Amino acid sequence: MSRSIAAMATAPGKASLCVVRISGDDAYSVAKKVFVPINKNKDVEKQKGYSALFGHAYRNGKEIDQAVALFFAAPKSYTGENVVEISCHGGSAIADQLLKACYEAGAVPAQAGEFTKRAFLNGKMSITQAEAVIEMINASSSQALSAAKSALEGHLYQKAKAVRDELLVLVGHITAYTDFPEEAVEEVTDSEIEEILQNAKSELKRLIDGYDSGARIKNGVRTAIVGKPNVGKSTLLNALSGFEKAIVTEIAGTTRDVVEQEVILGGVNLILQDTAGIRETDDIVEAMGIQRSMDRLKDAQLVFCVFDGSRETTDEDIELAKHCQDNNSIAIINKQDLEQKFDVSKVEQYFKKVLNITAKEFYMSKEFESTVKEVLNLTYIDSEVATVVNERQFAAVREAYNAVSDALDAFVMGQSLDIIGVCVDDALYAIYQLTGENVSEEVVAEVFSKFCVGK
């Protein structure tokens, strides 16, 4: 029998509601000790699943608050066990009383992630789906949320299973052929082997590429705004932030230190870094600022290189453009409201994209948004696509990919079927790790330890 666990399912602090969740074989009898329905004819312990009762919550015979209890009968609940959720009015004191009442009624405090862990152990979800739950809770931008949602809906699990099934067919053929050569086992053709391996390799590669974008989405994209003095970098930062974060003046060399601001652009989290204008200078403080600009430029995952469209192109502009060429860089030709003298053709070859803007009267356009996503290669992230959401999954996918690549190399070099079979076995082992079908207890403990209590 599984001992019932209880925890707050809502965040602590002031809120309109607080919800305590109880899960386990005796969840209903725990609930009966803390909750009394208004309708005296109702018996808490006999409630059907998917039903609700209105009443009051009690601790030590003293009323805590009005309450609503929701009942989910096993196995049709989040954890697969009997679950009762009791909601009262929000506020730390009520929440605290309600939870203590549940403990006194026989429930034990839930460990971090224990509800979801029970769901996993009861076969309600795969480990990749469980991991998606935590990613959803932590998602700070809509793109991160879509990636997590995709995993929760099981797209990654389905994709991994499809690759696994193909490889299993291959292993089956190889085993039959090599173990029973004298039997009339149908020979697997070279082109079949190659096709299965190629297919598996490209599916796994897609998952690997998707993770790079996913990691960017999750952690925010370090975005350096660089350019010569007075071109309008700080004006652009302010426009994107929606408030006057950085000082703007007509004096060249206004910004000295790096000014940082996080913004969400088209669902993507950008960590903007406005930097000192880059030029030759004798001023020690300004020179240090410029050094920092160059450091941020090198370290950035995205670069907005701003030029003043009302000025002629100079050698310095071309020099700066060359510094941007190894990066995900967008040339931003600012001050379009003035007469244009800047020659874009001299710098555009160093950039992925060019955008014309008037930072002073900036408004976010679809073009600006989609250009950024395109340069970051984020356009295809949506909740229908299988996405790897964490390091553990990524390591397993990479291992499977390497093993399939080895199998393919062995095949191309004309190695025996035995050798190819060994590589495919390694790939299968890695895929089982990914889907959680042979994960060790330590891995399970590690995955769920990252959760908050109550989930």
Q: Which residues bind ligand GTP (CB under 6 A)?
A: 227, 229-235, 248-250, 252-255, 276-277, 334-335, 337-338, 358-360
Nearer to ligand GTP, 18 or 324 (CB): 324
Q: Where are the alpha helices (DSSP H) in 279-332?
A: 284-299, 315-324
Token pair in block for residue 167? 């490889």
Distance CA 346, CA 313 (A): 8
Distance CA 306, CA 359 (A): 10
Least distance from Mg ion to the Cβ atom of residue 254, Å:
5
- Using the contact rule CB under 5 A, the part of the chain among 174-182, 212-220, 225-233, 366-374 near Mg ion is 225-233
Nearer to Mg ion, 111 or 254 (CB): 254
Which entry of Mg ion, ligand GTP, none binds 229, CB below 5 to 8 A by partner kind? Answer: ligand GTP
Specify whether the backbone of 6 is left (phi greater than 0), alpha (psi in -120 to 50) or beta. Answer: beta
Nearer to Mg ion, 126 or 238 (CB): 238
**Which residues are within 8 A (CB) of 445 and not within 5 positions of it... i.e. 6 or more apart?**
none
Least distance from Mg ion to the Cβ atom of residue 233, Å:
5
Token pair in block for residue 344? 């874009």
Which entry of Mg ion, ligand GTP, none binds 11, CB below 5 to 8 A by partner kind? Answer: none
Which entry of Mg ion, ligand GTP, none binds 359, CB below 5 to 8 A by partner kind? Answer: ligand GTP
Least distance from ligand GTP to the Cβ atom of residue 272, Å:
12
C-alpha distances in angstroms, 277 versus 244, 261, 274? 18, 17, 9
Nearer to ligand GTP, 196 or 239 (CB): 239
Which entry of Mg ion, ligand GTP, none binds 315, CB below 5 to 8 A by partner kind? Answer: none
Least distance from ligand GTP to the Cβ atom of residue 197, Å:
53
Least distance from ligand GTP to the Cβ atom of residue 262, Å:
19
Least distance from ligand GTP to the Cβ atom of residue 240, Å:
12
Query: Residue 151 is which amino acid?
Result: A
Least distance from Mg ion to the Cβ atom of residue 246, Å:
6
Which entry of Mg ion, ligand GTP, none binds 358, CB below 5 to 8 A by partner kind? Answer: ligand GTP
Angle between helices 315-324 and 284-299 (to 10 degrees): 40
Name the DSSP letter for residue 384: T
**Which residues are within 8 A (CB) of 244 and not within 5 positions of it... i.e. 6 or more apart?**
238
Which entry of Mg ion, ligand GTP, none binds 364, CB below 5 to 8 A by partner kind? Answer: none
Number of shown-chain residues binding Mg ion (CB under 5 A): 4
Distance CA 424, CA 427 (A): 5
Nearer to ligand GTP, 218 or 335 (CB): 335
Which entry of ligand GTP, Mg ion, none binds 106, CB below 5 to 8 A by partner kind? Answer: none
Nearer to ligand GTP, 24 or 277 (CB): 277
Distance CA 320, CA 350 (A): 10
Least distance from Mg ion to the Cβ atom of residue 231, Å:
9
Which entry of ligand GTP, Mg ion, none binds 334, CB below 5 to 8 A by partner kind? Answer: ligand GTP
Which residues are 307's β-sheet partners? 333
Using rule CB under 5 A, residue 234 touches Mg ion? yes
Nearer to ligand GTP, 214 or 232 (CB): 232
C-alpha distances in angstroms, 330 versus 321, 324, 440? 10, 9, 46
Place of tokens 């009966």: 32
**Which residues are within 8 A (CB) of 112 and not within 5 positions of it... i.e. 6 or more apart?**
448, 449, 450, 451, 452, 453
Nearer to Mg ion, 258 or 271 (CB): 258
Question: For residues 135 and 219, is the Cβ–Cβ distance under 8 A?
Answer: no
Distance CA 410, CA 421 (A): 10
Query: Residue 44 is which amino acid?
Result: V
CA neighbours within 13 Å on the CB side: how many for 97? Answer: 22
Stretch 243-302 residues interacting with Mg ion (CB under 5 A): 254-255
Nearer to ligand GTP, 110 or 225 (CB): 225
Least distance from Mg ion to the Cβ atom of residue 114, Å:
50
| Residues engaged in binding Mg ion (CB under 5 A) | 233-234, 254-255
